[in-house]
Amino acid sequence: MEKIKMTTPLVEMDGDEMTRILWKMIKEELLEPYIDLKTEYYDLGLEHRNETNDQVTVDSALATKKYKVAVKCATITPNAARMDEYDLKEMWKSPNGTIRAILDGTVFRAPIVVKGIEPCVKNWKKPITIARHAYGDVYKGSEMKIPGAGKVELVYTAEDGTQTSELVHEFDGPGIVQGMHNLDKSIESFARSCFSYALDTKQDLWFATKDTISKKYDHTFKDIFQEIYDAEFDAKFKEAGIEYFYTLIDDAVARVMKSQGGYIWACKNYDGDVMSDMISSAFGSLAMMTSVLVSPEGYYEYEAAHGTVQRHYYKHLKGEETSTNSVATIFAWTGALRKRGELDGNKELMEFADRLEKATIGTIEAGEMTKDLALITTIENPTVLNSEDFIKAIASRL
Ligand code: NAP
Ligand code: MG
C-alpha cells in the first residue's frame, strides 16, 4: 500500500511519562504504517525543557503560529516534588499556560461518545463541548480580609491622574473583599475563537453569564459577544445553518441537563472550570475527553484532556503491565491530521483521520477496552487489554 503523503508538517510536541510511551506506540502502530508522516518535532519532555531553560516550549508555540496545526502529548507541570525528581534548575511554568499565552487561545473540551460508555445524564446523546475563557476574573483577582469597620472603594486612576471611584461597602465589622478584572481585548479573542470553532464544527454556540446581576461586568461579556456576532458572524452562521444563543447562566444550566447535547457551551473562566469537570465526569472518563486550543487567528493545538498518568508510568518502569487508555491521545492526532488535511486540501489525510477514529470507537464497541472503561461499561464481559494490546487491536481493525 502506498503511504498517504503530507505537504505541510504538523508541529509535534512530545511529552512525559506514560503518555510519552503511548505517543510512541500510536505513531509506530497507527500512523507511520499508513502516512508519510511529516512533523516538526519538539521534545517538551521535562528533561529537555530543563536543558533548554524552557525555550523549547516557546519555540514549539512559535512553530504552531507558522504551521497553524500542532499535536501535543501530556506534560508534567513541575511542583516541589518534581524539582527533586528531575533535578530542575527552576520550577518551569506549565507548558500549556506558556503555549496559551503565546497563541492567545480558547480551550475547547469535548467527550468522545461511544456506545457502551453511557453518560449519567440519560438524554445526552451527542457530545457537549465546553469552551472556557482562560483569562482573568477570580483567577487574577486580588483579595483582602477586612479587619473591622471602615469603607472599601474601587478606585480607577487614569493616566492623566483623574480618579473615579465606586463604593464597594461601608463595613461596620470584619469581612472580606475581592477585586477582579478582564480586558475587552481578551473577551473579543474569546468570542472570535468560539464563533470560529462553532462554524468549524457546525455546532450551535451557547453563551451564558449572570448579566442580570452583574450589570457592567458580565453585561460587557454579553455585549462584546453580540457585537462581534452581528458584525462578523451572523451571515456565516445562517449559511452554515447553526445558531448563536445567549441566555442567563441559570437558564443555561437547566437547559444543558434537559438537552440532547451536540453544541458548544461557552463559559466565563470560573464557570468553565467548574462545568467542564461536571461534563467530563457525567460523560464517563477523563481518558475519553479531547481538548483543542483554538486561537482567534486560526491556529490549532490538539491534545488529550488528561495528564501524564504518573501512577501507571511507575508501574511500567517496574516492568508491570499497564492498561492505560490511549483514546484521547489518538483523537488528538486525528484532530490534528484532519485539520492539516483540511488546510492543505488533502482529502486522503482527512479520510484517514475518520477511519482511525472509527476503528478506535469500533474496538471499544466490540468489547475490547482498557481497564478504566471496563469498570464503567454497560457492555457485558468486556475484554480488558493492556496498553499495547489495545493499540494493536485498533491497528488490526484499522
Ligand atoms: P492524570 O495524569 O490525568 O491521572 C490521574 C488519574 O486518572 C490516573 O492515575 C488514572 O487513575 C486516571 N487516568 C487519567 N488518564 C488516564 C488514562 N488515559 N487511562 C487510564 N486512566 C487514566 O492526572 P495527575 O496524576 O493528577 O497528573 C499527572 C501529571 O500530569 C502531573 O505532573 C500534571 O502536572 C500533569 N498534567 C498534565 C496535563 C496536560 O499536559 N494537559 C493535564 C493534567 C495534568 P488510576 O490511577 O486510578 O488508574
Ligand atoms: Mg476544575
pLDDT digit string, tens, across residues 161-185: 999 999 999 999 999 999 999 999 9
Is 77 touching ligand 1 by the criterion CB < 6 Å? yes
Residue 137 Cα to ligand 2 midpoint, Å, equals 15
Please give the torsion angle defined by the CA atoms of residues 59, 60, 66 and 71, in that order, rounded to the nearest 10 degrees: 180
134 and 291 Cβ atoms separated by less than 8 Å: no
Question: What percent of the chain clears pLDDT 90, i.e. is strictly above it?
Answer: 88
Nearest CA to ligand 1 atom 23: 307
Choice among 71-85, 206-220, 272-286 with the minimum mean pLDDT: 272-286
β-pairing, 69-72 with 106-111? unpaired
Q: Which pLDDT score, from 0 to 100, does residue 284 have?
A: 77
In tens, the pLDDT along 43-56 reads: 999 999 999 999 99
* Residue position matching grid coordinates 531553560: 53
Nearest CA to ligand 1 atom 37: 307
Ligand sitting nearest the alpha carbon of 19: 1
Ligand sitting nearest the alpha carbon of 329: 1
369 and 383 Cβ atoms separated by less than 8 Å: yes
150 pLDDT more than 90: yes
Rounded to an integer, what distance in angstroms lies between the CA atom of residue 274 and that of residue 281? 11
Q: Which pLDDT score, from 0 to 100, does residue 50 have?
A: 98
Is 325 touching ligand 1 by the criterion CB < 6 Å? yes
Q: Does this chain's domain 1-109+290-398 share its CATH topology with 118-141+180-283?
A: yes
Rounded to an integer, what distance in angstroms lies between the CA atom of residue 274 and that of residue 316? 32
CATH number for region 1-109+290-398: 3.40.718.10
Residue 294 Cα to ligand 1 midpoint, Å, equals 23
Q: Which of 73, 109, 308 to mutate to test the pocket of ligand 1 (most atoms within 8 A of CB)?
A: 308
Show the DSSP H helices in the chain as ranges: 17-26, 46-51, 55-67, 80-85, 95-103, 184-201, 217-228, 234-240, 249-258, 269-283, 310-317, 327-344, 347-365, 371-374, 387-397
Given the CA of residue 329, which atom of ligand 1 is nearest to it? 18
In tens, the pLDDT along 296-349 reads: 888 999 999 899 999 999 999 999 999 999 999 999 999 999 999 999 999 999
- pLDDT band (50, 70, 90) for residue 286: confident
What SS3 state is found at 268? coil
Domain boundaries of the chain, sorted by first residue: 1-109+290-398, 118-141+180-283, 143-179
387 pLDDT more than 90: yes
β-pairing, 106-111 with 128-132? antiparallel
100 pLDDT more than 90: no
Q: Which pLDDT score, from 0 to 100, does residue 218 have?
A: 97
Residue 224 Cα to ligand 1 midpoint, Å, equals 36
CATH superfamily name and code, 118-141+180-283: Isopropylmalate Dehydrogenase (3.40.718.10)
Ligand sitting nearest the alpha carbon of 130: 2
Rounded to an integer, what distance in angstroms lies between the CA atom of residue 208 and that of residue 221? 9
Residue 359 Cα to ligand 2 midpoint, Å, equals 31
Rounded to an integer, what distance in angstroms lies between the CA atom of residue 211 and that of residue 220? 8
Residue 290 Cα to ligand 2 midpoint, Å, equals 15
Helix axes 347-365, 327-344, angle to 10 degrees: 160
Q: Which of 92, 303, 309 to mutate to test the pocket of ligand 1 (most atoms within 8 A of CB)?
A: 309
β-pairing, 300-304 with 69-72? parallel
Residue 286 Cα to ligand 1 midpoint, Å, equals 8
Nearest CA to ligand 1 atom 24: 307
Ligand sitting nearest the alpha carbon of 273: 2
Mean predicted lDDT score pLDDT of the chain: 95
Q: Which pLDDT score, from 0 to 100, does residue 101 have?
A: 82
> What's the CA angle centered on 257, arms 292 and 325, to 5 degrees?
40
β-pairing, 175-179 with 204-209? unpaired
Is 76 touching ligand 1 by the criterion CB < 6 Å? yes
1 pLDDT more than 80: no
Is 100 touching ligand 1 by the criterion CB < 6 Å? no
276 pLDDT more than 90: no
Residue 381 Cα to ligand 2 midpoint, Å, equals 33
Task: Report how far apart, in Å, the C-alpha atoms of 175 and of each of 140, 152, 172, 269, 393 are.
Answer: 20, 11, 9, 25, 60
Q: Which of 57, 94, 306 to mutate to test the pocket of ligand 1 (most atoms within 8 A of CB)?
A: 306
Given the CA of residue 303, which atom of ligand 1 is nearest to it? 41
15 and 75 Cβ atoms separated by less than 8 Å: yes
Rounded to an integer, what distance in angstroms lies between the CA atom of residue 16 and that of residue 21? 8
Considering only residues 160 and 118, tell me which one the structure prediction assigns the higher pLDDT.
160
In tens, the pLDDT along 243-269 reads: 999 999 999 999 999 999 999 999 999
Helix H or strand E segment including 205: strand 204-209
Contacts 24+ apart (CB under 8 A), 357-364: 357/330, 357/331, 359/394, 359/395, 359/397, 359/398, 360/327, 360/330, 360/331, 360/394, 361/112, 361/114, 362/397, 363/390, 363/393, 363/394, 363/397, 364/114, 364/116, 364/117, 364/327
